[in-house]
Amino acid sequence: MVEGGIYVWAVLVGRTLAGFFVGLSLGILGGWLALIFNAMIGYPWDVDVHTNIYFVSIGLGAGLGAYFAWMNLTPRWYFIAGSLLLVLVGGIAGTYIGLVYGEYVEPSYMGRQYTIDNSLHFGAGIGGITVSTALGLLHGIRALGR
């Protein structure tokens, strides 16, 4: 690998952008899978439980996609599992932050198809890639110190 120059910054920005877009895609896929899961089991629980299943699955998908961008398999397995868990929690936290700070559309105003809030997906992607990038940069800085 070329040391120094623009390549170092291009790789960092490229990994971050790729992780965000893969996380966004997997967050959308996770939301679809949650909707299918909720429909298959017939919505037996309270509405809040099914809504949280939807939110958590968006966060898990986005966190997994963000983890792929900065995945490092050289440390011991428990560090890998811990970093994956942190990134998944970052994706879930980003989903709920997107829920709090997102714009809402009243379902009776434009119909149900316009009430899906895209800020959930963007918040999940941003939360996951923020934690993943921080862990990746921390590992890179630690590796330079050795």
User: What's the domain range around 23?
Assistant: 6-145
Assigned domain for 117 exists: yes
With tokens 């996770």, the residue in question is: 30
Interval 32-60: pLDDT, tens: 999 999 999 998 999 889 889 999 999 99
Assigned domain for 135 exists: yes
Torsion sign, CA atoms 85, 94, 72, 75: negative
> So what's the pLDDT on residue 114?
47
State residue 75 phi and psi, 5-degree precision: -70, 180
Contact predicate 136/87, CB 8 Å: no
Assigned domain for 57 exists: yes
How many domains does the chain divide into?
Answer: 1
Interval 119-138: pLDDT, tens: 889 999 999 999 999 999 99
CB atoms closer than 10 angstroms to residue 91: 34
Quote the CA–CA distance of 110 and 72 in Å, as a whole number: 45
Assigned domain for 1 exists: no
> So what's the pLDDT on residue 120?
87
User: pTM to 2 decimals?
Assistant: 0.85
